[in-house]
Amino acid sequence: MVKNIKLLLSEVVFLSVVSFTLVSCGGVAEESTESDAEENIFSVDQVLEMVSKENDVTRTLYTKAIVGQGKLQGMKFDEDWQKDDVEAGPLPALFLRGVATSIRRSPVPLGLYLGSDYPVNSANKFQGKQAELFEKIKENQDPQYFYDEEQKVHTAMFADLASAGACVSCHNAHPQTPKTDWKLGDVMGATTWQYPKDSLSYGETIAVLNSYAKGTIDIYMQYLDEIENFKNSEKPIIGDKWPAEGNYVPTAEVFLDSVRKLASYETMNKLMAAK
Amino acid sequence: MMNIFKINPLRKRQFVGLVLGLIIGGTIFFILTLDVSEKYVSIGPMNTGHNDISCITCHADARGNLVQQVQSNISHAFGFRKNGVDFGTKDVTVDNCLNCHDRPNDRHPTYRFSEPRFSDAIKVIDATTCITCHKEHHGERVSVPSMDYCMNCHQELDVEDDPLDISHVSLIKAKQWTTCIQCHDFHGNHKYEVATKLKDTFAKITIQKYFQGGYDPYGTDKKYTGLLESEWLEKLSEK
């Protein structure tokens, strides 16, 4: 009898200690983000379309007003612009790569890539699903959306158009180009965007747009730093003037300010309507 | 009633064993948690360049104490909470590596390989994560089984005005995929003159030794260097 009580008591004490230990300290607090409390009001497709439009305006401004006009002033732009012995700015494709790199450093899980069926660098040629969807984009320039099962991300592709004379002239004349008859307005490639969630809150949407804007500033600042380190080339004057006015480039603030003026009207409308 | 907590004389030896075991176990546990014991705790020798960094650089403590972590994961298993938690230390991810090795000039950054068109390539070699090629605790620099990995993405390479005496196209046609790395460093961080004659490229054995942690044939002149632990700590404190 005593033996049974002893056994029972031991079990009770053991279970009590285990239960107390497991429950009393309360566990690790759930990681919650501000967005958990917010309602998801945009589909991922809507958000990717918004940020893609910001990208269109930014890249067109950079290509036309910085690269196109800059070249007329004798400024140099090169795919090897980051090499120490090259004193030049980033070409538009590399500008986008810089934005994408900056986005990846941010906490926003947004992916951005640029590709084509006739890329200057053959490693950037679309394959598989992207090649298939790019054929549709070339037909009517409509965006294409799909869910990438392998990476578990929502993916959208948007036409990347020859929007400036510099796109056409540089690509046609590039020694590595596989195509020499590009024309203004051609679908030269497509941007591919990825995001893991199917819908986003207002806060998450703003974070996506901000991460893109910050990416623009980061790569543009790198370009200005490159200019500061020119040793053998004439340095453009960095200020509030643009290359169209002479040997000038705008500061990052002036550049982003112009992007905002050009880009945000449609995006702002959508954001305001949702609010 | 007091009898039920009294130790049976026949079990005294077991009791002494239990107490001794707890003392010895506790002492070993304490010694192994000291900084000086890190090399004994490590599952293998650190890779090239990582000899002077401490465990905490990559293996940060997970949130909460061990009991809380057990409780949270049990709750998660039974569906009482949304997410499980890391146990002991946080999982090591690409972000840990990039905290010290992120460079704007990386010609093959890991994030690029998340693009759908690399889906077949990453099934062969998962370039979305550093540890595919740089497995830690192996006492080496690069841990790939073969040097021919460029074949997974560069089959269609055609270099206009090819500066190499035997063209890149010919080398690819002949499936000479190990020759890529004999000229080009994968991440593009070294500053050096690339050979224009195949005979002047680095020998395969030299590259193999470099992968194993030996002499760097691409040179020591690099545009960016990884952060020292002290620099990493300073960067953390700035955040």
CB contact under 8 A, B153 and A22: no
A108-134 pLDDT, tens digit each: 999 999 999 999 888 889 999 999 999
Residue A198's pLDDT band, with cuts at 50, 70 and 90, is: very high
Q: How many helices (H) and strands (E) are present in chain B, helices listed first?
A: 9, 0
Question: Has residue A268 got a pLDDT over 80?
Answer: no
Asked whether the predicted pLDDT for residue A1 surpasses 80, the reply is no
Question: Of B110, B113, B96, B85, nearest to A150 (Cα)?
Answer: B113
Spell out the alpha helix ranges (H) of chain A: 2-24, 34-37, 44-61, 69-72, 92-105, 128-140, 165-173, 202-228, 252-274
User: In this predicted model, which residue has the larger pLDDT, B172 or A40?
Assistant: B172
- Cβ <8 Å between A176 and B109: no
Determine the pLDDT at residue B48. 93
Query: Do A153 and B114 make contact, defined as CB atoms within 8 angstroms?
Result: yes
What does the pLDDT look like over B177-213, one tens digit per residue? 999 999 999 999 998 889 999 999 999 999 999 999 9
pTM > 0.90? no
DSSP letter, residue B158: -
In this predicted structure, what is the pLDDT of residue A275?
A: 61
Higher-pLDDT residue of A29 and A103 is A103
> Scanning every residue of chain B, which has its alpha carbon at the shortest distance from the alpha carbon of A80?
B105
Residue B218, pLDDT above cutoff 60: yes
Residue B5 has pLDDT above 70, yes or no: no
**Residue B67 CB neighbour total at 10 angstroms:** 13
Task: Identify the bridge partners of residue B106 per DSSP, sorted by sequence position.
Answer: none
Residues of A in contact with B153 (CB under 8 A): 123
Is the pLDDT assigned to residue A197 strictly greater than 60? Answer: yes
Residues of B in contact with A223 (CB under 8 A): none
> pLDDT over 90 for what percent of chain B?
60
SS3 for A5? Answer: helix
pLDDT of residue B215: 94
Whether A22 sits inside 8 A of B104 (CB atoms) is no
Measured between CA atoms, the residue of chain B closest to residue A174 is B160
Residue A167 to chain B, least CA–CA distance (Å): 20
Q: Do A131 and B191 touch (CB under 8 A)?
A: no
Q: What is the mean pLDDT of chain A?
A: 88
Please report which helix (H) or strand (E) contains residue A250, including its range: strand A248-250
Say whether B120 and A128 touch across the interface (CB within 8 A): yes
Q: What is the pLDDT of residue B97?
A: 95
Give the dihedral sign, CA A193/A198/A201/A203: negative
A43, pLDDT greater than 70? yes
- Rounded to a whole number of angstroms, the distance from the CA of B143 to the nearest CA of chain A is 24
Q: Which residue is closest to A124 within chain B, CA to CA? A: B117
Select from A26, A126, A176 the Cβ nearest to the Cβ of B117: A126
| Nearest neighbour of A27 by CB, restricted to B75, B104, B116 | B75
Q: Which of B196, B193, B117, B203 is nearest to B155 (CA)?
A: B117
Average pLDDT score over chain B: 90
Tallying the residues shown for chain B, one arrives at 239
Q: Position of tokens 């660098």? A: A121
What is the distance between the alpha carbons of residues A88 and A93, in angstroms, rounded to a whole number? 14
Length of chain A equals 275
Q: Across the interface, do A28 and B72 touch by the CB < 8 Å criterion?
A: yes
Nearest to A21 among B4, B67, B158 (CB): B67
Q: What is the DSSP string of A120-145?
A: SSGGGB--HHHHHHHHHHHHH---EE
pLDDT tens profile B111-136: 999 999 999 999 999 999 999 999 99
Determine the average pLDDT of the residues in B6-31.
87
Integer Cα distance of B35 and B56 in angstroms = 10
Q: What is the pLDDT of residues B74-90, one digit of tens each?
A: 889 988 888 889 998 89
Nearest to A28 by CA among B58, B56, B86: B86
Question: Would you state the pLDDT for residue A9?
Answer: 82
Residues of B in contact with A9 (CB under 8 A): 4
The residue type at A85 = D
**Contact yes or no for B161 and A175 at CB 8 A:** yes
Measured between beta carbons, which residues in chain B are less than 8 angstroms from residue A113? 112, 115
d(CA A48, CA A90): 24
User: In this complex, do B67 and A129 lie within 8 Å of one another by their Cβ atoms?
Assistant: no
